[in-house]
């Protein structure tokens, strides 16, 4: 039986959608916090701790050198909400089911808001400090971090530095897909920004990189053939080093 053209087109869209993803919840301690769902929340006019973004697709075609890289496509619109996160605690990002054909690193940044995050654009200055990253690690059976995500229930866990000052922060978590990155501008970034209030912190105010600004088209961590990376040919994710507690 020949399927209707409309059905084939819909199937293609479903297949494309299934290959992408976004963070649907944060786990902080024993609590689960629902984050932005671009397919349900706009219609319900719901506000989340997540800055709104358009859909589950990536930033690509070189757009990651522009303003959408800050918090994904959709305007980087601050929200009035935050969730409490103790300094030194673990936060887990629960992705929608992540496909294993997107090799690349997973990176997490923070930026301190000067007051309320609801009044902070976070799109200029070296404010983004990296708190976690994993790229290619040959000690794992699945070396690429983003492909390993698929094997651990699409969940990635990071530790909030215990030394950073208390206050409101933007917690930015992203996957970089390198499956097409051998051609300039075709790397795929999947970032999202979640507003949190850090409690019980120290006095550190780390500096980092600017987003946009940190990612360039010719960055060796972005423009490369991922199949060339191995235990002997190392890979360094873009965006600078990870901040470590003193």
At 116-151, the pLDDT tens digits run 999 999 999 999 999 999 999 999 999 999 999 999
Spell out where the chain has E strands. 23-28, 31-34, 83-86, 90-95, 106-112, 129-134, 155-159, 167-177, 188-199
Token pair of 33 as six digits: 């916090």
- Please state, rounded to an integer, the average pLDDT across all residues of the chain: 92
Average pLDDT over residues 88-112: 94
What pLDDT does residue 98 have?
A: 83
Q: Give residue 16's pLDDT.
A: 37
pLDDT band at 20 (very low <50, low <70, confident <90, very high): confident
Q: What's the pLDDT at 17?
A: 40
Q: What share of the chain in percent tops pLDDT 90? A: 88
> Is 11's pLDDT higher than 50?
no
pLDDT for 23-79, tens place per residue?
999 999 999 999 999 999 999 999 999 999 999 999 989 999 999 999 999 878 999
Q: Closest by alpha carbon to 244, among 204, 191, 200, 215?
A: 204
Predicted pLDDT at 19: 55
- How many Å apart are CA 236 and CA 30, to the nearest integer? 33
What does each C-alpha distance from 183 to 47, 51, 147, 226 come to in angstroms? 38, 30, 21, 11
pLDDT value of residue 224: 98
What is the per-residue pLDDT across 215-224, written as a single tens digit (0 to 9) for each? 999 999 999 9
* 208 HSE (CA, 13 A, CB side): 30
């Amino acid at each position: 039986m020949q399927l209707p053209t409309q059905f084939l087109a819909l199937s293609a869209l479903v297949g494309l959608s299934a290959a992408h993803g976004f963070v649907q919840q944060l786990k902080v301690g024993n609590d689960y916090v629902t984050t932005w769902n671009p397919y349900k929340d706009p219609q319900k006019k719901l506000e989340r701790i997540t800055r709104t973004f358009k859909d589950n697709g990536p930033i690509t075609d070189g757009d990651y050198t522009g303003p959408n890289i800050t918090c994904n496509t959709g305007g980087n619109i601050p929200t009035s909400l935050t969730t409490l996160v103790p300094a030194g605690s673990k936060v887990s990002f629960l992705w929608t089911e992540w496909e294993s054909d997107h090799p690349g690193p997973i990176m997490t940044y923070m930026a301190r808001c000067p007051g309320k995050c609801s009044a902070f654009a976070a799109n200029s200055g070296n404010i983004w400090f990296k708190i976690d990253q994993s790229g290619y690690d040959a000690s794992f059976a699945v070396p690429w971090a983003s492909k390993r995500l698929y094997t651990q229930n699409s969940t990635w866990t990071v530790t909030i530095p215990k030394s950073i000052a208390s206050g409101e922060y933007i917690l930015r978590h992203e996957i970089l897909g390198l499956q097409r990155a051998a051609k300039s501008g075709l790397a795929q970034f999947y970032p999202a920004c979640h507003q949190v209030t850090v409690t019980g912190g120290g006095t550190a105010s780390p500096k980092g990189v600017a987003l946009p600004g940190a990612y360039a088209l010719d960055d060796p961590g972005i423009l490369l053939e991922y199949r060339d990376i191995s235990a002997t040919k190392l890979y360094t994710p873009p965006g600078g080093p990870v901040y470590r507690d003193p």
